[in-house]
Amino acid sequence: MSAVLEIEGLRKTYRSRKRGVRRALDGFDMRVEAGQVHGFLGPNGSGKTTTLRTLLGLIRPNSGRMAILGQELPHALPAVAGQVGAIVESPQFFPHFSARDTLGLLAQAGELPKQRVDEVLELVGLRDRAGERVKTYSLGMKQRLAVASALLKNPKLLILDEPANGLDPGGIREMRGLMRELSENGMTVVLSSHILGEIQLICDSVTIISLGRRVAFGPVEQVLAAHSQGSVRVRLEAVGDLPQAADALTRAGVRVTTEPDHLLLSGVDKPATVSRLLAEQGLYVSELTPVAVDLESVFLELTATAPVPGQHRQVDQSAKVDQAGTTGGWGA
Ligand SMILES: Nc1ncnc2c1ncn2[C@@H]1O[C@H](COP(=O)(O)OP(=O)(O)OP(=O)(O)O)[C@@H](O)[C@H]1O
Ligand SMILES: [Mg+2]
């Protein structure tokens, strides 16, 4: 497989007199193969938008390597720009223009054939309202217009930051169908999202970022399999004892996620160890079941140490990345 997007060791540091040094990207790696729908996941402030803006030449990185379609950036940006369609954060459109006028102008500026406007309006399901002014559009309709504008030049690589933002469930499903269709026609799609159930349905592969570093990557099923091993659900006779149980297990080195009526443990070799540890605390389990994890629980486990956005960070994440580097993986 060939890589459409490659990032190695990308660093971006913001400095301010008040807040000191903030490492938005701290040696970040990413690789996306041709024809994939790739999910780019991470908590608020983990570095997704910074990565995408850096790729598009809007931010200058401190160091690291980036390539799109095999061409090194930022040097080759003018050469590859025509093959990359992107929306990063909410794009702004002229409120008094219709969607058709907006896309018509963009097509003209990009020297694209006029009929492409109707094609993309059809693709994103906006054709019926295309003559109305943008200021009368709902959030979801504006989002569709943004995707239409990114699709105009029929790019080889489509980059979408939060494309499901503002879409209703029907709209999300349509967007999912569209992403599939585009990738079946050979387009590579990178999308960031916080809707993890959606990402699990839509994406072939994912990259998970936390504190500016990659903590997991690879085909979705591999990432899930790597984290399903040793995942156990524990219920206790008394729900009120869950915090004490979580404490005891955490102290024993087990990774614990607390749910309202049970605990989800990961990295458990022998379930018997769990029941023994809890019995030593005078706590008795009523259920101990191996579980297959979903992307949301993997995400929460891997990004659990992420700070509140805006908080100064000085956490040494090296141990975590070593461990996570072994998860997922692209094979040969
Ligand atoms: N211009 C800037 N000046 C200073 N710090 C910045 C700047 N832009 C981003 N940051 C910081 O860099 C970090 C990464 O931000 P980024 O916008 O890339 O996160 P994100 O993953 O896109 O988050 P979200 O999910 O909220 O969109 C954050 O700590 C943010 O505060
Ligand atoms: Mg962002």
Predicted confidence (pLDDT) per residue in 197-220, tens digit: 888 888 999 999 999 999 999 999
Kindly report, residue by residue over 17-75, the tens digit of the pLDDT. Answer: 888 889 999 999 999 999 999 999 999 999 999 999 999 999 999 999 999 999 999 89
Query: CB within 8 A of 63, min separation 6: which ones?
Result: 9, 10, 11
Q: What is the pTM of this model?
A: 0.78
pLDDT at 7 over 70: yes
Q: Which-ligand-closest: CA of 40?
A: 1
**54 and 116 housed in the same domain:** yes
Q: Is 47 in the pocket of ligand 1 (CB under 6 A)?
A: yes
Give yes or no: residues 240 and 208 share one domain.
Answer: no
The total of other beta-carbon atoms located within 10 Å of residue 184's CB is: 10
Is the CB of residue 85 below 6 angstroms from any atom belonging to ligand 1?
no
Are 107 and 117 in contact, with CB atoms under 8 Å apart? yes
* Alpha helices by DSSP H, the chain: 48-55, 77-80, 99-109, 115-123, 139-151, 169-184, 196-202, 220-228, 242-251, 271-280, 295-302, 318-325
> Domain range holding 243?
232-290
Whether 44 lines ligand 1, by a CB cut-off of 6 Å, is yes
Q: Are 143 and 237 in a shared domain?
A: no
- Determine whether the shortest distance from the Cβ of 49 to ligand 1 is under 6 A: yes
| Mean pLDDT of the residues in the chain | 86
Query: At what angle are helices 242-251 and 271-280 packed, to 10 degrees?
Result: 120
> Among 49, 165, 312, which residue has the most ligand 1 atoms within 8 Å of its CB, making it the best to mutate?
49
Does the pLDDT at position 12 exceed 90? yes
93 and 238, same domain (yes or no)? no
> What CATH number corresponds to the domain at position 271?
3.30.70
Measured by CA distance, the residue closest to atom 28 of ligand 1 is 45
Ligand nearest to the CA of 28: 1
Which of 19, 50, 88 is the pocket-test mutation for ligand 1 (most atoms within 8 Å of CB)?
Answer: 50
Whether residue 210 is contained in a domain is answered as yes
197 and 254 in a single domain? The answer is: no
Residue 72 and residue 96 in one domain: yes
Indicate if 123 and 194 belong to the same structural domain: yes
With a 6 A CB cut-off, is 222 part of the ligand 1 pocket? no
Whole-number pLDDT of residue 305? 60
Ligand 1: does its nearest atom lie under 6 Å from the Cβ of 45? yes
Nearest-angstrom CA–CA distance, 32 and 210: 18
Nearest ligand to the CA atom of 24: 1
Sole residue written with tokens 């008094």: 96
Strands 20-33 and 205-210, bridge-based pairing: unpaired
* 327 part of a folded domain: no
Does the N-terminal peptide bond of residue 243 adopt cis geometry, omega within 30 degrees of 0?
no
Domain total in the chain: 2
- Domain-embedded: residue 276: yes
Strand partners, 157: 84, 188
The answer to whether 38 touches 190, Cβ cutoff 8 Å, is yes
Considering the domain architecture, whether residues 142 and 244 belong to the same structural domain is answered as no
Q: Is the dihedral of CA 80, 85, 86, 87 positive or negative?
A: positive
For the segment 18-30, what is each residue's pLDDT rounded down to a tens digit? 888 899 999 999 9
